[in-house]
Structure 1
Amino acid sequence: MVTASHKTHQVPTPRVLIVGNYCHDVLIQNDTVVGESLGGASSFIASVLDGMSIPCSLVAKVGHDFRYQVNHIPILVPASKTTVFHAYFDSGVHENGNQDRVLKRVCLCDPISPTDLPDARFDFGMAVGVGGEILPQTLERMIEICDVVLVDIQALIRDFDAVDGTVKLVDLRETGFRSLLPRIGVLKVSSEEAVFMDVEEVRKWCCVVVTKGEDGCKVCWKDGEMEISPFLANQEDPTGAGDSFLGGFVTGLMQGLAVPDAALLGNFFGSLTVEQIGLPKFDSRLLQRVKDEVQRRKTQCLHYEGNYDELMFLKPEGHEQFHSSLGAAKLLTQHSIQESKDCSGQPKLAVNPVNDEAMQTADGKP
């Protein structure tokens, strides 16, 4: 069970709201379990935001079987089990450098309702359900309490086989979310998911960011589109790459970066995530270097700043240099980690202490 200490300390006011259930992910290859870890888009996003010191609130539900220690304590549903996904990978690598994956939802926790959300205002809201837990009315409530809402399309278009839980995708027009699109700020889709929507239509209503794995991403908005460069990565597990992208993306927006620079930061964290199996652990030295680069970039682009509800799409001068600086920080840290391993055998990882919150039950009682 999740535990928490009771130290008294000053907690920064959360400015980002993350909504999506925690999950238990099981990775299976050739009928053999090769990894198990905490999953759910919210866990990957929170890992990035916590590492980058971005105050956030997280609303997630779990069952009585939840055993992970987490920074952001979920709502406990005693009569339910935690959502579980099995990810089946084949042993072959295809021309695009990726492995085929079959995803099955084998256990489902309760959905998140509007009344589960905090009675507060946030700069950014992130609707990032993975198991069908985001309801249309929940997304509508997020729109009401957040200045800008970012949505991962998987929260909207996933359907699940009634027999074995295999994840299927449906056209966005067939869901109950289509009418809300003009009220959200950003819709994140993968290149595979993009075929289940009309990008040209949706970009008239909101910004559409299409992630393309090793090819980076493309940002589309009403008046234009832009390709954002990737970062080199040795892929071990693609799980959570898009989620970490969103974490990096909203981190950039929170720091006042223009959308192209924020997307670049998203690509960066996506590249770090695919190099690890399961929920990534970020090296503390790398995080500090990235914070320094983001602060430097923010200082360079002060004259580009606007309100959070006015996303800036023009690519500021020095964008390519920002890419190079982030890439250099990654390489420098990798060399430092290797040197540390040569000396002690253990890399230095970021430490994220358990949050001092008590777990709540679904009725709001501790």
Structure 2
Amino acid sequence: MTTLFHAHFTSEPAETRRQDRILKRVRNCDPILPSDLPDSRFDFGMAVGVAGEILPETLEQMLDICNVVFVDIQALIRVFDSVDGTVELVGLKDSRFFHLLPRIGFLKASAEEAPFVDVEEARKWCCVVVTNGKDGCTVYWKDGEVQIAAFPTVQVDPTGAGDSFLGGLVAGLVQGLAVPDAALLGNFFGSLTVGQIGLPKFDLRMLQRVKDEVQRRKMQSIGCHEKQDDELKFVKPLGHGQFHASLGAAKLMPTCPIQECCWDLPSSPRAVEQGIHP
């Protein structure tokens, strides 16, 4: 069975409304069990549930078999009204996942979800990334924080923006970008998604241009990551502003028919470790 939500959008002005939409779970698929996970070792894993699919024991198994795990907080703190399925949020400390926090590599939350996380506590244990729509995102770690700029866009549908952001962030880190550059890539894909209704479609030539810019940025950073300590991996590297401008230019490219575009991910665990360990 496929999970299905109904989204109810408010007509209130953005300045006064508490949230973009009210979600109601109509039906949901069966949870993912630890036994459903492969008996292998992986460089990284992503826990991105939306309707209670990820159980605490399943996340624990993921943490056992993956070097680094990226988690969307909605997988951990969403609960559902027993009558009409309305989505509500509970504090991370009150969930069954809190004890796993020190083992998580990156925890992503929206600005609406962040108060339920206790960012000041969570940042002691893992990197926390909070997305905030037109204001971009903020990356928190135990010793500091950095604001990452957004990309101008007209929001028509926020559905899937968090998934696109997390996908861009992870792709950037796996490609070897510094955390601020990878978060910028996440902002880029999030901005593309909110500008479309429903499942987003990404232009082929634009994707190729972005891939080229990421590779160029990666080449600029070669030799730097190995010499950096953990603190410096979170500081905006030289050329960060130019990388933002290059991605912005790619977004303005003329469109062409949509096709698939594959990212060449590194096969070396060392390459992944350099890119995504905080």
Given the alignment, which residue of 227, 243, 268 partners 2:147? 227
Aligned equivalent of 2:162: 242
**Are 1:275 and 2:176 matched, yes or no?**
no
What whole-Å deviation, never above 9, does each CA across 1:319-348 have from its counterpart, x for those lacking one? 1110000001111x1xx22xxxxxxxxx41
CA distance in 2, matches of 1:100, 1:234: 14
Trace 1:275-294 onto structure 2 (pairs within 5 A).
275-294=195-214
- TM-aligned CA deviation for residue 98 of structure 1: 9.2
Q: For 1:155 and 1:230, how far apart are their aligned partners in 2?
A: 24
Structure 2: gaps spanning 5 or more residues: 263-278
- 1:349 corresponding residue in structure 2: 258
CA contact (8 A) 1:91 1:99 kept: no
Partner of 1:226: helix, strand, or coil? strand
CA apart distance, 1:95:
2.3
What is the deviation of 1:217? 0.2
TM (normalized to structure 2)? 0.89
User: How far off is 1:314 after superposition?
Assistant: 2.2
Identity %: 68
Supply the distance in 2 between the matched residues of 1:103 and 1:287 (Cα, whole angstroms).
31
Contact kept? 1:258, 1:304, Cα under 8 Å: no
SS at match of 1:129: coil
Q: Does residue 125 in structure 1 map to residue 45 in structure 2?
A: yes
More strand by share: 1
Instruction: List gaps (5 residues or longer) in structure 1.
Output: 1-62, 64-81, 338-346, 354-366
Highest Rg: 1 or 2? 1
- Map 1:153-302 to 2 at 5 A: 153-302=73-222
Give the length in aligned residue pairs. Answer: 259
Contact persistence 1:92–1:99 (CA under 8 A):
no
1:305 CA drift (Å): 2.9
**TM-aligned CA distance change 1:290 to 1:205, over 3 Å:** same
Contact 1:206-1:221 within 8 A present in 2 as well: yes
C-alpha distance 328-150 of structure 1, shift in aligned 2 (>3 A) = same
Deviation at 1:197, TM superposition (A): 2.1
Q: 2:79·2:90 contact (CA, 8 Å) conserved in 1?
A: yes
Render the CA deviation track for 1:230-255: whole Å, top value 9, x for unaligned: 00111110011111000000000010
Q: 1:147 to 1:241 in 2, by over 3 A?
A: same
Instruction: Give the match for residue 65 of structure 2.
Output: 145
1:327 to 237, 242, 248: 248
Q: Secondary structure at 1:120's aligned position in 2? A: coil
**Contact persistence 1:281–1:350 (CA under 8 A):** no
Distance 1:91 1:97 in 2: 9
8 Å CA contact 2:47, 2:75 repeated in 1:
yes
Q: Deviations over 1:7-50 (max 9, x none)?
A: xxxxxxxxxxxxxxxxxxxxxxxxxxxxxxxxxxxxxxxxxxxx
Residue-by-residue CA offset, 1:141-185 (whole Å, 9 max, x unaligned): 111111110100000000000000000000111111000000010
RMSD over aligned Cα, in angstroms?
A: 1.9
Q: Contact (CA 8 Å) 1:93, 1:99: kept in 2 or not?
A: no
Structure whose residues are more often helix by fraction: 2
Contact kept? 2:48, 2:71, Cα under 8 Å = yes
* Secondary structure at 1:303 match in 2: coil
Structure 2 residue aligned with 1:4: none
Q: Distance in 2 between matches of 1:143 and 1:249?
A: 19
> Do 1:236 and 1:275's aligned partners in 2 also have CA atoms closer than 8 Å?
yes
Q: Higher relative CO (CA 8 A, sep ≥ 6), structure 1 or 2?
A: 1
The alignment status of 1:87 with 2:12, answered yes or no, reads: no
Tell me which residue corresponds to 1:50: none
How far the C-alpha of 1:264 sits from its partner, in A, is 0.3
The letter of the residue matching 1:202 is A
**Equivalent residue letter for 1:349:** I
- How far, CA to CA, are the matches of 1:105 and 1:264 in structure 2? 31
